[in-house]
Structure 1
Amino acid sequence: MARSRARIAPGLAKRLAAGVIRDKVESITDAIAEETKDRAPDAKRWVTTNGPDARPSHRHADGQTIPATIPYRLPKMEYIRKGGDNRRTGAHGPGGWVTLTAVDLADRPRDPGLPIHQRINCDCRSVIVPGVIAAATRALPTRVRGSKVAAAVEVVFPRIGEAEFGTGDVRGSHFLALAGSAVMARRR
């Protein structure tokens, strides 16, 4: 009777186990990415007419594309009298509106929460842009280091952290966290 022996390379069992786990982790990560795309909010874009009467703060906001669940940021404006000095901005001259570094928050143009000089006679629009946040969502490649497996889902979009987690002014929608919870609940 002939015998044969095989030697298993050190660490092979850990690498094999990590490979099996990697497949499962990739499957879960892909499912979370798809669920995130389904739950991702639409985006909205501020559109300014850019006519001669457009406010400087509205021209600044033109094209601002953000998750539809959070407010736009418009630079605050202050009026300086002709020939007057402005202590806060240091402006001096012919007078008129100047923008400041602080912001006013608005869900849409002419938002009632805006100061009157930001909303009255405003011709701007807010346009819904569906699917762009979903398109910015992807599962990152799974990494195996020794016996550890790591994966992630990424959403790259302006102010997406505010949409997910919220701020002092806005509640988060938690669409990414809810996607992970939904996928894991289905796998139990």
Structure 2
Amino acid sequence: MTSYRPKSGLEAAIARLIAPRVQQITEQVAEAARDNAPPTKTWKSQGDALVRPEHRAADGQEVPENLRFVVGSPAYDQQHYGAGPHQQLREPRDPEGTPGATVNCRCQTVSDPDGIARNIHAHPVTVSGSRIVGVVTCHGNRVVDSEFGTDKDDAARFMGRAIDEVARRLRR
């Protein structure tokens, strides 16, 4: 029986040689994630005395486009329509909302096509012995809910699709 023992430090040397390629792949995943990331939308009230208190509180709330805004329910709607303390609305005047939250609402949404994408970053790979780690991060309000979905909203899977796309290209 023959046995082979690599020279001490060979695995770490190979890892250092491979690290630049892993960095390229990490950058490709980040770029694909930016391409797949949904826009964000921001709730904007008119900012005047006629704005409902719940909508004033929602003003400036930014969420990924595939998710719903979380807006307070008026006390009347809680008492008479069985609404909880908050409603999840796709947009101002959402037909699924209660009347006190939607009727005569003058609020608007403002879309930002790069709202999530601008917060996706590839970080320098780290090499520790024979281990190489590439990291892509995404920061923002409710990005995890956007990626995986909620009980009411579908998953965007922008990070998951990015990994799938890059892996598919590498297999060719």
TM-score bucket of the superposed structures, by smaller chain: 0.7 to 0.9
4+ residue segments displaced more than 3 Å: none
For 1:1-188, what aligned pairs fall within 5 Å after superposition? 11-79=8-76, 102-188=85-171
Cα distance in 1 for partners of 2:129, 2:88 equals 48
Question: By how many angstroms is 1:129 displaced?
Answer: 1.1
Aligned pair in 2 of structure 1 residues 11, 56: CA closer, same or farther (>3 Å)?
farther
Cα distance in 2 for partners of 1:76, 1:16 equals 61
Aligned pair in 2 of structure 1 residues 154, 51: CA closer, same or farther (>3 Å)?
same
Higher helix share: 2
- SS for the counterpart of 2:75 is strand
Q: CA RMSD in A?
A: 1.9
Task: Name the % identity.
Answer: 30
Question: By how many angstroms is 1:102 displaced?
Answer: 3.2
Tell me which structure has the larger Cα radius of gyration.
1
Question: By how many angstroms is 1:35 displaced?
Answer: 0.7
Structure 2: give runs of 5+ residues left out of the alignment.
1-6
Alignment deviations for residues 8-55 of structure 1 (CA, whole Å, 9 cap, x no partner): xx7431221111221221111100001111111111010001221211
Aligned pair in 2 of structure 1 residues 150, 102: CA closer, same or farther (>3 Å)?
farther
- SS for the counterpart of 1:141 is strand
Name the stretch that deviates more: 71-80 or 30-39.
Answer: 71-80
Question: Partner amino acid for 2:50?
Answer: D
Question: Partner amino acid for 2:160?
Answer: A
Alignment deviations for residues 104-137 of structure 1 (CA, whole Å, 9 cap, x no partner): 0111100000001000110000111121211111
Question: Partner amino acid for 1:127?
Answer: V
Paired residues in the alignment total 161
Question: By how many angstroms is 1:101 displaced?
Answer: 8.2
Provide the TM-score with structure 1 as the length reference.
0.80
Cα distance in 2 for partners of 1:52, 1:64 equals 19
Cα distance in 1 for partners of 2:133, 2:106 equals 49
Alignment deviations for residues 82-115 of structure 1 (CA, whole Å, 9 cap, x no partner): xxxxxx9xxxxxxxxxxx9832011110000000
